[in-house]
Structure 1
């Protein structure tokens, strides 16, 4: 294996799945430090440098943010390696990192790198900076739906782009709906939750998968424009309809297989009721749409294979399906 996909995280589903699909070795370089964030970044910088010296990969894919990860890649000699940057929405819009995006895009342009992004708006931003970009969604694996158990699930990381207070109030407005929230919430938020919310805490991947597949609907909301949530892709793969944010990119991808809402509590509550009422119709539309998205994904993956290895010859990919 002559390539790596580097991510400065403990784990990342998109990194692992795309690495497998693109024949890259996933390398997670998260390194806690008693000196806080700066200490962690120094350790991860050194770890990434050591990894690059040891493996000398010809093909490199790098997840951004955080922006300092790009500085850890040694400048290649002409033709030595190919670079694809997997640019998540936070790279462009998170206040923590957007200040560095112009500088980082300049570095990518000078290295002749290609960017992988999740929608046309982000592709346009890259191309204005002189960086070629490919729209690549999270890996779509077609799976058969499981019997519904009558609850809605909200996969959460309790990040700054999730409308957490509004979700609690929406649940309070829909006492007839069972809400399941994943992850470990702050204690103050847990204490404010109404009785129809259940918190799962952190669960293993198999248990999380079961919770999604057996739900009647997934609620995946963000306040950050141009964001394609991982939870939405997971619902799409599982054949479970979703309520998601009313942004153009989400409507363009999910079409009439999803319900859409603003982040206002009453709108979320109304959307949750609609999601449950239209579950069967939305699930049918999702299953009709999914093969088209798989075909589009195959073309995007071929573009990235050629970006990572110009000698790669395109070949048709079989549809991905998992029972």
Structure 2
């Protein structure tokens, strides 16, 4: 259960476990109105399906509260805790409440050891599970958005962004300005001040369709997954892993441990990003080979993690 239009981690976990994935948005408009609609839709779904276990993506805390209030106490609730539960100023106020519900009603799943330790400190049973390593999905070459055709023909660095508090967007734009020979593609709904500030070698395709996003990943020379926060795994990094792409990511302990020598690492400043992106473009073939080898290593660990989660969820 995910209160979002789509999320690769949620879909991947559901597919691997052979269970349904439900994505509920609540439509458009102010957050309180969206959450009210999502609550009603979730309540109807739970009443109709009567599940024995529900895995709930977190945040938002409202989704967890809905499942807790609208199911009998016999229903097990597993919180899939994203890093924002712990670090995002928008949601970390609800951390204690999140843990109290999961301690009473079920357990949690997180991406790594650091978040697992923080979760256990609240007395919550927890399993570690990184995002499911997906096999590359082949889609036709013709993009849904015709404007992407010229982008896909060139070499480029793909930087998927949510324009969140933990993304070094200013440093990224300065790095792009300092490396004019590199084409940079920044997806997501970019704020107007970001678009205005960007140099000419930065393309903003906006929020693209799922198939067009796959095309962008498939054709990218390098992918970049950047955060200023420790203990934060990057969905973009998992996508680079699945596709076997050269990756530039942040120099945090959790990312270095996960990707090992299969990625290049940066501090969240313009000079570091510029230097490592240029190096990744130059050595893209070598980095792709390392990423494919790393994927094979991690797939073995993932099967064990999935078996543990399946046992808990059954």
State the TM-score, normalizing by the size of structure 1. 0.88
Match of 1:166 in 2: 171
Aligned residue in 1 for 2:221: 216
Can you list the C-alpha shifts for 1:82-137, whole angstroms capped at 9, x where unaligned?
221110010111011111111210111111x1211111100001111111111111
Pick from 8, 12, 16 the counterpart of residue 3 of structure 2: 8
More helix by share: 2
Aligned with residue 190 of structure 2, among 185, 189, 197? 185
Offset at residue 50 of structure 1 (A): 2.1
Aligned residues of 1:142 and 1:290 also touching (Cα < 8 A)? no
Q: State yes or no: 1:132 paired with 2:128.
A: no
Alignment correspondent of 2:17: 22
Query: Helix, strand or coil: the match of 1:25?
Result: coil
Which residue of the partner structure matches residue 94 of structure 2? 100
Retained in 2: the 8 A contact 1:65–1:97?
A: yes
CA distance in 1, matches of 2:103, 2:251: 32
1:299-319, Cα deviation, whole Å (9 max, x unpaired): 11111100011xxxxxxxxxx
Distance 1:194 1:225 in 2: 29
- Whether the aligned pair in 2 keeps the contact of 1:149 and 1:216 (CA below 8 Å) is no
Give unmatched runs, 5+ long, in structure 1: 1-5, 310-323
CA contact (8 A) 2:68 2:101 kept: no
Is the contact made by 1:220 and 1:245 (CA closer than 8 Å) also made in structure 2? yes
Aligned twin of 1:68? 62
Compare 230-239 and 19-28 and name the one that shifted more: 19-28
1:228 alignment partner, SS class: coil
- Aligned-pair distance for 1:179? 1.2
RMSD over aligned CA atoms reads: 2.1
Aligned runs of 1:193-212 on 2, under 5 Å? 193-212=198-217
Specify which of 292, 299, 314 is matched with residue 294 of structure 1: 299
Task: Please say if residues 155 and 183 of structure 1, whose CA atoms lie closer than 8 Å, have aligned partners that are also in contact.
Answer: yes
Q: 1:71 to 1:144 in 2, by over 3 A?
A: closer
Equivalent position SS for 1:227: coil
Aligned residue pairs, count:
301
List per-residue Cα deviations over 1:131-171 (Å, max 9, x = no partner). Answer: 11111111102449999953211111222221111111000
1:32 is aligned, of 22, 27, 36, to: 27
Deviating above 3 A after TM superposition, structure 1's stretches of 4 or more consecutive aligned residues are 74-78, 142-149
Structure 2, unaligned runs of 5 or more: 142-151
Partner residue of 2:40 out of 43, 46, 54: 46
- Taking structure 2 as the reference length, the TM-score comes to 0.90
